[in-house]
Every structure is written in C-alpha cells, then in structure tokens.
Amino acid sequence: MLHPRYKQKSPAMLCHAIPLGFTSAMAMASSSLTVLLSFIFLAIAAAEPASGTAQHFLGVNYGRLGDDLPPPHIALEFARSAGAAAVRFYDANATFLAAAASSGLGFVPAVPNELIVSLAASQRAADAWVASTLLPFRRNRRLRYLFVGNEVLSDPTTKSRWSRLVPAITNLRRALRRHGLSRVKVSTTLGMDALVGQNVFPPSAGVFRPDIIDVAVRPLLAFLERTDSYLFFDAYTYFTWSANHTIVPLTYALLEPSPAPGFQYHDPGTGLSYTNLLDHMLDAVVAAMCRAGYCGVRLALAETGWPNAGDLNEFGANVRNAA
C-alpha cells in the first residue's frame, strides 16, 4: 500500500480509468495507506508545432508498483482508447519507453530522485545516462520533456539532493543538446508543500518555503526562464479542500457549478474572484513565483485528482466525487 506522497503509482490505475466529467480525460485509481486516489496528468504544450502555438491536452501518469499488472502495450492502448494523448513515467525503464514510443502517445520519461546527486556531480555521467536511455528515441518527435526527480523538495530527509537538483538538470540539458535532443525541455515536479504551510488562502499570499527558496527554487526558476521550459506542479484539490472545508464548499473543489447564487472566492490582494479551487491553487503558485522574482515562468499541471474511497474520517472521498 502506498502513501499518497509516493508517486510511483500502479499501472492498475490504467485498468480502472474512468472519464472525468469536467475534462473528458482519464482518472486512475491507486491504493494508498488510507485512500484510493484518482490522478490525471495535464501536459501543457507538450508538443509545440512549427507555428509555435501550444497544444493543450490531457494524459496519464503511469507508475509500475503493484501486482497483476497488464503488459505495457495493453495498458498504453487502454490509455489511448480512453482519450489520453500522453503518458508520463516516474523512471526511464527501456521496455516501457519503447512501448510508449511505438504507441503514438506523447511520452515523458523521468530521472529517479536517487540519481540526482551523481548526475549533478558529473557531466560524463549525465552524457552516459542520456546516451543509454534517450538516444534510441532521438527521432521520435513525441519525446518533448524530461522530468528530473519527482517532488524532490518535499522530502526533508534527503536535503542533500535539494542543492543538486538544478546542477543535475543543467548537466542533463547539456547532454541532450550534445546528442541531438535539444528539443526536449527539462524540468521537475513540485508539490503544494513547496509553499509555506501549503497556504493558498488567499492565492495572492502564496510564497515558497524559506528552506528551499534560495537553495533550489530560485535557481530552478532561473533555469526554466532561460530555457523557456515549464514549472510542473502537483495540485490535488481534495487535500486543500479537506483542510479548508469550512472556507470553501465541495463544489468549488470539484470544479462544479455551485448552487445559486453561486460561490466565488474573492482575493482581496488582487481583486480577482475564483470559481474553482484548481485555478485558485495554481494562482497561489504564480504568486509565489512572482515573489521569488520570476513572474514570467510558465506553469503546467503535472498531477491532480480526487480519492474514490477513504477511511471514515476522510469525508468526501468517494466514487461520485472522484468522477
């Protein structure tokens, strides 16, 4: 059983995909210590045509922890048949990347957290990793992004990786360029716990934690701005709503219309009004980026979702709300 914070989600998620009413995308069920979670992966401009116009679409996160899992070609075909346009992995397993590359889906490999320090320390190691892992897919235009680590800044027990995140990202980008993969944008994913107290009330109050801002966040934002890449965030409206259910109604977190006269959250700092919690949360990240001095960095949603089951004290976690 996996805690919600562990993002190596089971491919069984793909086998229990259900349509999300407000996105016509896919939700994926994954077991955790206390809840079953639904997740979607939103790739913004994961493929940009020559015109420069960004293509917005939805895809799935594909983890591999679990038993009785379907072969990758079956799971990927199911993802495609359900409407997914891309698949994101939590590592760079050659078998799964090859299956994704031949599936017609966009695909996003990842560098595991445990490799960050070694890749930051050695350009030769970064060159070797790209050559052995991604070079076979050099001609596949559906390979557009590489994620380096997953919510690295969420784990206080591995602080040694925090300062090495951007050096690893920089070495890998240099290696990609050397191997004819300069089109591949390099980034990482952050969780809402990158904000002080995960506070999003109001959105304009968003600020990055002081223990990560100088050691990792500002260098990361500077890199993303310089390379025209995206900051990818994981934003689960369930967790924010469940901790603040006396402030905002359930419909606000589910992106559903509120009963008349309709609920809106007003931000006194900006004068903006919000009709759903997802926009609300992402604007808190934007506010944090602006406070860090990087208003121009583009933001993309890596994960979101809702639990389809939970313990008695986890109210709101049910199939209807997940759907």
Whole-prediction pTM: 0.84
Q: Which residue has the tokens 């889906």?
A: 105
**Residue 15, domain member (yes or no):** no
225 assigned to active site: no
Predicted pLDDT at 2: 27
Helix axes 94-101 and 72-81, enclosed angle (nearest 10): 40
- For 44, 93, 129, 307, the CA distances from 8, given in Å and listed in that order, are 22, 13, 21, 16
Helix axes 218-227, 165-178, angle to 10 degrees: 20
- The per-residue pLDDT for 3 is 30
Question: What is the Cα–Cα distance from 112 to 267, expressed in whole angstroms?
Answer: 38
241, 225, 234, 64: which is closest to 154 by C-alpha? 234
Give the tokens for residue 195.
Answer: 């904000």
pLDDT digits (tens, 9 = 90+) for 27-84: 333 323 223 333 444 433 333 443 444 556 788 999 888 888 899 999 999 888 888 9
Query: Strand 56-62 and strand 298-303: pairing?
Result: unpaired
Determine whether 48 is an active site residue.
Answer: no
- Residue 268, in any domain of the structure: yes
Sign of torsion, CA 11 14 20 23? positive
d(CA 251, CA 244) in angstroms, rounded, equals 13
Tell me, yes or no, whether 139 lies in a domain: yes
Decide: 71 and 44 in contact? Cβ < 8 Å: no
Quote the strand ranges of the chain, DSSP E. 18-19, 26-27, 29-31, 36-38, 41-44, 56-62, 86-89, 106-108, 110-111, 145-148, 185-187, 189-191, 230-234, 265-266, 273-274, 298-303, 307-309
CA 224 from centroid of its chain's CA atoms? 15
User: At 83, is the secondary structure helix, strand, or coil?
Assistant: coil
Q: Is residue 44 part of a domain?
A: no
Catalytic residue among 114, 256, 303, 314: 303
Count of domains for the chain: 1
Within-domain flag for 273? yes
Residue 251 covered by a domain: yes
Q: Which domain holds residue 105?
A: 60-303
DSSP character for 297? S
Active-site hit among 151, 225, 256, 314: 151
Cis peptide before 249 (omega within 30 of 0): no
Sequential pLDDT tens for the chain (323 residues): 223 333 333 322 222 222 222 222 323 333 232 233 334 444 333 334 434 445 567 889 998 888 888 999 999 998 888 889 999 999 999 999 999 999 999 999 999 999 999 999 999 999 999 999 999 999 999 999 999 999 999 999 999 999 999 999 999 999 999 999 999 999 999 999 999 999 999 999 999 999 999 999 999 999 999 999 999 999 999 999 999 999 999 999 999 988 878 899 999 999 999 999 999 999 999 999 999 999 999 999 999 989 999 998 899 999 999 99
- Whether 28 maps to a domain, the answer reads no
CB atoms near residue 83 (< 10 Å): 17
Measured between alpha carbons, how far apart are the two ends of the chain, in Å?
22
What residue ranges in 25-165 does DSSP mark as E strands? 26-27, 29-31, 36-38, 41-44, 56-62, 86-89, 106-108, 110-111, 145-148
pLDDT at 63: 85
Within a domain: residue 21?
Answer: no
What are the beta bridge partners of residue 185?
145
The domain that contains 101 carries what CATH number?
A: 3.20.20.80
